[in-house]
Amino acid sequence: MATMTSALVLVAALGCGLIAGVFYAFSTFVMKALARRPPAEGIAAMQSINVVVLNPWFLAPFLGTGLVGAAAAVTALLAAQPAATASAIAGALLYIVGTLWVTIGRNVPRNNALARLAPHEPASAAYWERYVAEWTWWNHVRTGAALAAAILFSLALIV
C-alpha cells in the first residue's frame, strides 16, 4: 500500500476508534447516569451536552473521519490492491452510513425535539423516557458502526 494511502487509512482507523470511544461512553454510562436523575435534571443536562458538543474538538474528528475515510477508500482503489481496497471502502461506507447518517437522521432530530422542551413541564418527563431509550439505541448503532469501521480500516493496513 502506498505511503499516502497508508497514512489516510491509519488516520481513518484512529478517527473511527476515537469516535467509537465517545459513543461507547454515552451508551455504557453517560445516558444511564442521566436517566437515573429526575427527568428535569436529565433533560437539562442533555440539553447542555447537545450545545457543548458542537465544538471543533468534537466536530473535526467526527466529520473529518468521514472525509479522511472516503479519501482513504479512493486512494486505496487507485493503488489497485483488492484486499486493502475492499476493507477501506467498507470501512468508509460503514462510518459514513452507520455513524454520520445515523447521527444526522436519528440522533439529531431527537436532540432538536429535546431542545424545544421546558425541563420542568410534566409532558417533558414522558418525552424524556422515550428519548433516552430511542437515542441510546441509535447510539449503540453508531458505536458499533464506528468500531467496525475502525477494524476494517485496520485490516486494510495489514492485508
Domain range for 114: 3-158
Q: What is the DSSP letter of 120?
A: T
**What gap in Å lies between CA 63 and CA 99, rounded to an integer?**
10
Domain count for the chain, please give it: 1
**What gap in Å lies between CA 106 and CA 123, rounded to an integer?**
21
pLDDT at 1: 58
pLDDT at 2: 78
At 40, the amino acid letter reads: A
**What gap in Å lies between CA 15 and CA 63, rounded to an integer?**
9
Question: Can you read off the three cell numbers belonging to residue 156?
Answer: 486494510
Q: Which residues of the chain have pLDDT under 50?
A: none
What pTM was estimated for this model as a whole?
0.94
